[in-house]
Structure 1
Amino acid sequence: MKMESYRLPSAQPLAEAYSDRTDSRLDALFGYHPADPGDWHKRLAALARPNPLRAPAERTADALRAYNRRFNASPQTEAALNLLAEGAPVVVGGQQAVLWTGPMLVIHKALSIVQTAKWASQTLRRPVVPVFWIAGEDHDWDEASHTYIPHHEEGIRKLEVARPAGARTSVSRTALTESKRKEMLAELVASLPDSEHKPQLLDRLCGLVSRCGTLTELCAGMLGMLFGSEGLVLLDSDDPALRRVEGPMFRQLIARNDELEAAYGSASKQVSELGYKPQADAAAGGANLFLFRPVGASEAERTLLFKRDGAFTDKRGVHHWTNGQLLEIAESEPELLSNNVLTRPLMQEYLFPVLSTVLGPGEIAYWAQTGEAFRLFGMEMPIVTPRMGFTLIEPAAAKHMDLFGLSFDDVLHRFDDHKSAWLKQQDRFGIEMSFAAAKLRFEELYRPLLNMAADVERGLAALGESNLQRILGQIQYMHDKTEQAFRQTQMTSVRRFDAIAGCIAPLGKPQERAVNMLHFWNRYGPGWMEPLLAAPFEPGIGHRIIYL
């Protein structure tokens, strides 16, 4: 197996500057850095100090034990939960629940959490528990409801499930009927090509689909299949049992909400002053909390809260809650409350002694806005570890890259230029040059005739110019048809080029942001992740290219 390191660019300058340590000014925003071995010992020592704003470890572990026994039962996970109950530090990260686990980066995130926890355990010589935070409380169905599978006819096929009718509520509260789940499975069966591993894979998925009533449960079950033996503990942020543990922290977030808003605003200003654009919207008057507002006998809509005239309200100001009412909800019905991206880090720190959090580029950017909020509650931001990333290059794609002399970087950044240049080299007829010369020669011959016609009758000038453009257009039309016919003779090479792009950059995106992992499981079997698990690990290593 061949492996290379690569710095995959992101659209987050702040995250790249943090990961590469090219801007020392960011140290004040984050505090720790994973590349500094001493910071791991410092963070562990900080966690050993008493923290009154921390959930009892036993209560958190009990809530998670019930959830994991349903979707992630394994001896390794049970052992990890026992360590949690004893107060073991954790490495935590997560992602929203997505159909069939969504793009590969979700698997990369889970793998990064597992590998970071293993590395930290060895470095610190004490157990560190990996925890995956499934953001089931999120309500963006459009993001959660689809994934992509490579397809022999379509290049890549989008699999999607429509949102059931009802209130705009969390993904974890959006139930899928048995018939809808069967449709999802049938679509997957039709999309995956036949392989020696397909029957066993579908048998496992069929059993999972039959007992998972939501996308969150399906995502949890699949992560359990992949990582249960690694001791990865799963968490659904919208789990009612966990919400009951979180109640005291919600009371703090409500009671000190004005201070919290000021903390986010101040940190966002610092980010701007350093020349970066704040990733998260710390809106004036925003409470940075959601409330599940009843909209029927059995439904509730996830409503973002704002502050107005000494009370809390929805965005349009139609519904109102007093401070006392929200505090009572936090006390007696905490399952009606929900975090946003800025308060979720604080809740994570309340639930666990977090040694490190594993984040993607966008998450790193908005975590830069949370440092002052941590300090407001007497907390520290944990070590922010950038997640690992992988591109898996299949044998056929690697062979064709060698044939055309393409590097990984060429495919990502100069692919169309290389493809066009290669095809031009195969053109023994000189099609483009011949037609260009013909158009130039024709215009040289025809232009004097147009000038003569204009001298005879001035009104013929515009007509002549129009006539010239029509004839040149016809020559271009013939050029395009000839070029198309030539490309047909080169279709084998064109298909090979397209297969390279489909492997490395499907939909014009990095592989990890498009392709679902079931493609690899179906093709290479349940051991498809072994090359990823075998990759050498160090915090913040960046992207790996693995040639299968």
Structure 2
Amino acid sequence: MQHLEVPYNNTGYFSKIVMDYLEEKKELAPFYHRYPKLQNFEAQIQEKAASFSSEHRKVLVSALEKQYQEFSLSGATQEHINHLVLPNAFTITTGHQLNLFSGPLYFLYKIISVINLCKELKQTYPKQHFVPMYWMASEDHDFEEIQYFNTKGTQIKWETNSGGPVGRLSTDGLEEVYNKFAEVLNNGKNAEELRDLFQKAYVEHQNLADASRYLVNVLFGEHGVVVIDGDDPKLKSLFKPYALKELVAQTTYQQVTKTNQQLTKQGYPNQVNVREINLFYIADGLRERVVKEGNGYRVNNTDLHFSCAEHLFSNVDKLEFLSGNALLRPLYQEVILPNLCYVGGGGELAYWMQLKATFASFNVPFPMLLLRNSALLVTEKQLKKIEKLEVTVQDLFANQHTLIKKIVNQRSTINFNFEEKKQILEANFKELESIAGQTDASFIGAVKAQKAKQIKGLETLEKRLLKAEKKRMYEYVTRLEILQNQLFPNHSLQERQVNFSQFYEVYGKEMIATLLTTLKPLEKNFSIVVL
């Protein structure tokens, strides 16, 4: 197995806020707590231990035991759940939507990141217990984002009527999806494993949350991953005081609005828009915003009205109706978990950075934020093609037009990069503008028009020469384009497009074992893993 690395800033796929965070630029310091370095976890451990009560631990363990009561647990997962009642046990958490059959590859990378970080922390702090936690986004309602996955060039899609929290969605109709997926796979041992996994997860379970829990247990149970469903009345009971404050004082709106202004001033766009109230009212088939109406509250697009915040709670027997949006869900998570660090993608870290002041207002410790591992999986066959084409894997991260232009220019006997010639033209016309200004200023417009015409002519000639050279190198260029399209489908990162099954079918469990061995959560590089 070969493992190569590319600095994130050389990939061209990550935002300014992520790059500045990785470089620990001082402009971002006010928006996060402690940077995720091993030595910084000691203070985070002490802070969380002091704020997280034994009562919260008991409720958390009780809820997890109930959520797992219909599932077979690995010894490692059971041990981790047992540990959580102890004052020296802490979680490292990642979260993700309930994408069908896990969705894109980076779902795996998130969970592998928390597993490996827990291992590193255990070596550094042996007296503590560290639990890798996967938070199911079971209360989301964006079904269109989760109803499909792509494997072997085929989109496997679940067509069904949806509404309300996705975790409560019935799995009716997924047998038809299973049949389509089964036809795409070959007849090997690994393919049979995939068929069996999909069948048992999605056909034999009643709702999407249970199906997703089963899937993660099979893939990562031996590593002790604990799956938590926040759509739980016991856990929401712990959040009631914070929800009341949100309703009455609109704390998130006030704090995030100030933070957004500060981020904008530093040149960072806001990842998530804040609302006056950031709570949803949910039920089977229903997920609607809670909005202020006079002195009371109303559930948007329904007939539900409440005279006060307490009335909203007293009108239901249980608290399953309560749900935070993207900006309040992180607070809920940190209230109910003894969490030290959240591991997420660039977009997630960006919206967490909108929340530090909100956490302070609620007097809840802000977790450390870690960018999840990113990887490009390359087969031995593809690596040989890369070498034969005399390019590097790093070259292939470039925009395709830029890549082809660069490589064709390098291999051509004609230099058709006219950048130097454009600079000479610019200099010449700058001198002409100066002369025109001294003689007759009315000529400056004519000079500028002539400059634009000649530069455009050079660019046209450059494009024609490139087109001619590409035609002459047609076979080479075609092979390069095909290879890049395989590794960067839809001109995007592989991890955002392709499902794990495409590789699991070939490599089986060894694929996950390789990723667990290779990916290092605290290293600031994009990984290239040769399978």
TM-score tier (shorter)? 0.7 to 0.9
Tell me the residue number matched to 2:48. 47
Match for 1:18 among 11, 21, 24? 21
1:392 corresponding residue in structure 2: 377
Query: Which residue number corresponds to residue 514 of structure 1?
Result: 497
- Structure 2 residues without counterparts, runs of 5 or longer: 415-463
Alignment partner, residue 280 of structure 1: 272
**Alpha-carbon deviation of 1:544?**
0.6
- Residue 168 of structure 2 corresponds to 173
Could you tell me which residue of structure 1 aligns to residue 355 of structure 2?
370
Deviation, 1:424, is 9.9
Pick one of 496, 509, 534 that aligns with 2:517: 534
Aligned CA distance change for structure 1 residues 48 and 212 (closer, same or farther; 3 Å):
same
Structure 1 window deviating more from structure 2 (205-214 vs 227-236): it is 205-214
Q: In the TM superposition, what is the alpha-carbon distance from 1:251 to its structure 2 partner?
A: 3.5
2:115 aligns to what?
114
| 1:528 counterpart SS class | helix
Q: Deviations over 1:338-384 (max 9, x none)?
A: 11111111111111111111111001111111111111121120111
State the distance in 2 between where 1:412 and 1:542 align: 14
Check if 1:379 corresponds to 2:364. yes
Q: Deviations over 1:144-171 (max 9, x none)?
A: 1011112xxxxx221111132x6x2111
Assess, with a 3 A threshold, how the Cα gap between structure 1 residues 201 and 84 changes in structure 2: closer, same or farther. Answer: same
Alpha-carbon contact 1:255-1:327 (below 8 Å) kept = no
Q: Is the 8 A contact 1:10 1:361 kept in 2?
A: no
Q: What does 1:88-127 align with in structure 2 at a 5 Å threshold?
A: 88-125=89-126, 126-127=128-129
- Which one is further off, 529-538 or 80-89? 529-538
Alignment map for 1:181-330 (pairs within 5 Å): 181-238=174-231, 242-257=232-247, 258-260=249-251, 261-283=253-275, 286-292=276-282, 299-315=284-300, 319-322=304-307, 323-328=309-314
- 2:329 maps to 344
Q: Is the 8 A contact 2:244 2:310 kept in 1?
A: no
TM-score in terms of structure 2 length: 0.82
Q: Percent identity?
A: 21
Alpha-carbon contact 2:290-2:300 (below 8 Å) kept? yes
Distance in structure 2 (CA, Å) of the matches to 1:198 and 1:384? 37
TM-score, normalisation: structure 1? 0.79
Counterpart in the other structure of 2:429: none
1:315-345 alpha-carbon deviations (Å, 9 max, x no partner):
569653232222325x732101111111111
In structure 2, relative to structure 1, the CA distance for the partners of 1:14 and 1:425 (3 Å cut) is closer
Cα distance in structure 2, aligned partners of 1:15 and 1:349:
22
| CA apart distance, 1:249 | 1.2
Q: 2:65 matched to 1:65?
A: yes
Letter in 2 for 1:281: N
Letter in 2 for 1:147: F
Cα distance in 1 for partners of 2:200, 2:33 equals: 46
Q: CA deviation at 1:497?
A: 3.3
Cα distance, 1:490–1:51 mapped onto 2, change above 3 Å: closer
3-state SS of the aligned residue for 2:310?
helix
Amino acid at match of 1:408: V
1:250 CA drift (Å)? 2.8
- Partners of 2:59 and 2:234 within 8 A in 1: no
How many residues are aligned here?
Answer: 472
- Cross-structure match for 1:130: 132
What SS class does the counterpart of residue 335 from structure 1 fall into?
coil
Distance 2:277 2:71 in 1: 33
Instruction: Give the one of 149, 157, 167 matched to 2:154.
Output: 157
How big is the alpha-carbon RMSD for the aligned residues of Structure 1 and Structure 2? 2.9
After superposition, the Cα gap between the structure-2 partners of 1:402 and 1:427, relative to the gap in structure 1 and judged at 3 Å, is same
Report deviation, 1:401: 0.9
Partner of 1:121, secondary structure, is helix
**CA distance, structure 2, for counterparts of residue 533 and residue 380 of structure 1:** 30
Please state how far the C-alpha of 1:42 moved relative to its aligned partner: 0.6
Is the 2:178–2:199 contact (alpha carbons within 8 Å) kept by the matching residues of 1?
yes
Quick one: distance in 2 between partners of 1:209 and 1:120?
34
Aligned match of 2:449: none
The change in CA–CA distance for 1:417 and 1:369 in structure 2 (over 3 A counts) is closer
Query: CA 1:248/1:204 → structure 2, altered by over 3 Å: closer, same or farther?
Result: closer
Q: Is the 8 A contact 1:19 1:540 kept in 2?
A: no
CA contact (8 A) 2:57 2:84 kept: yes
Counterpart secondary structure, 1:302? strand
Q: Letter of the aligned partner of 1:59 in structure 2?
A: V
Q: Label 1:535 to 1:134 Cα distance change in 2 as closer, same or farther (>3 A).
A: same
Deviations 1:172-227 (A, max 9, x none): 121121xx221111111122344442123323332333322333332222211111
Identify if the C-alpha distance between structure 1 residues 423 and 539 changes in structure 2 by more than 3 Å, giving closer, same or farther. Answer: closer
SS at match of 1:537: coil
2-structure distance, mates of 1:4, 1:116: 20
Structure 1 gap segments, 5+ residues each: 151-155, 294-298, 431-478
Counterpart AA for 1:114: I
Q: Deviation at 1:538? A: 4.8
Cα 1:215–1:51 change in 2 (3 A) is closer
Structure 2: how far apart are the matches of 1:214 and 1:139? 14
* 1:65–1:78 Cα contact (<8 Å) kept: no
Q: 1:48 offset after TM fit, Å?
A: 2.3
Please give the secondary structure, in 2, of the residue aligned with 1:27.
Answer: helix
